Amino acid sequence: MIKPHGSETLTPLFVYDQEKHHALQAEAETLPSLLLSSAAAANAVMLGGGYFTPLTGYMTVADAVGVADNMHTADGTFWPTPVLNLTKDVSGIKDAKRIALRDPNVEGNPVLAIQDIESIEEFTDEQMQTIAEKVYATTDSDHIGVSTFLSQGNIAISGPIQVLNFSYFQTDFPDTFRTCVEIRNEIQEHGWQKVVAFQTRNPMHRAHEELCHMAKKDLGTDGILIHMLLGKLKKGDIPAHVRDGAIRKMVEVYFEPNTVMITGYGFDMLYAGPREAVLHAVFRQNCGCTHFIVGRDHAGVGDYYGAFDAQTIFHDQVPEGALEIQVYEADHTAYSKKLNKVVMMRDVPDHTKEDFVLLSGTKVREMLSEGKAPPPEFSRPEVAQILMDYYQNEVAGK
């Protein structure tokens, strides 16, 4: 296992000591409180789980601007995306030094964390636009990541936090949600030294499955961490519980026993393409993985990013030595009719488009909703069945 990012040890901000935890819960009820945005709540969960090691809380304006400009905080820590607590209204916490942060995603808005306020600052409109441009490579409000970022407000509340729960992730996904601490412990229990991580916000089709097999073989790793995002997605993306079931079935049938860990993390998708690919690499380094798969249009949305921008950023913008984790760069993978197996397109220069089984996401969703299984070259029948059941129930429920 490799060491966490920017630190010799993980720095999870969840309060594990029971006595301290109870005392903080009681204190929280006496403090002024702030209802977080979903993005800020997800940031708290990630800070709590050690995914944001070595950060100790929410960033200042200077930190966020530095991260947007050159991927470094004001104190020189390498970091690819701002980690902010943005809001529109601070009238309820004026002059407070310590506040309770409430969860917008759980009924009753329970306290998620306590924050010590170091500063309350306003971003200018120009700064907000610049951060959007640098992080998302666009200021287009049709980009879901940009619209989410700009809609939270421009007041940044910075300072360290103590996390008291993991929002809905631990209760809704008890078998899947894991902190970095838990993943590192499990890797150690397996006795794995080299581990390759695969990020997904979608169900895994044949191409994804084979990509994991290819990476494990090429890199000679002991195991694979399939690590799925469990937070908020854009409309039309498949819910986490459906993805979870489909991935578990695929691993059960098509992977050797004890070679895969199926886990998830509590974060809202940014759709920030290259910058988010670097953030994903940081997460996996903090989990103890030695390698991370970055494929075509990683963390992308629409046509905002080039097909392999998420790979080139590691060469062009990530400074030498900033990360210890190594990136496994994957080409587009698809089933070859000529060779009767899934291949990376760069490995078969003699192929034309007609030699592959290629289906658009729209076409796949259309087939599933009609109760038609995609061809077995594209999707395993067991996986297709789970997805067909979901789509037909969703359509029937409308």
Instruction: Name the active-site residue from 201, 206, 296, 346.
Output: 201
* Residue 109 designated active-site: no
Beta-sheet strands, E only, within the chain: 33-35, 57-58, 86-87, 98-102, 111-116, 119-122, 155-163, 195-200, 223-229, 260-265, 291-294, 326-329, 333-336, 341-344, 356-357
* Residue 201 designated active-site: yes
Question: Within a 10 A sphere around the Cβ of 355, how many other Cβ atoms?
Answer: 17
Q: Could you tell me if 180 and 52 are in contact, meaning their C-beta atoms sit under 8 angstroms apart?
A: no
DSSP state of 330: -
Of the CA atoms within 13 Å of residue 313, those in its CB half-sphere come to 29
Instruction: Name the active-site residue from 109, 202, 248, 365.
Output: 202
One-character DSSP codes across 104-121:
TTSTT--EEEEEE-SEEE
Q: Using CA atoms of 253, 188, 5, 280 in order, give the dihedral in degrees to the nearest 10.
A: 10
- Kindly tell me the number of DSSP H helices and DSSP E strands found in the chain: 13, 15
Among all residues, which ones are annotated catalytic?
A: 201-202
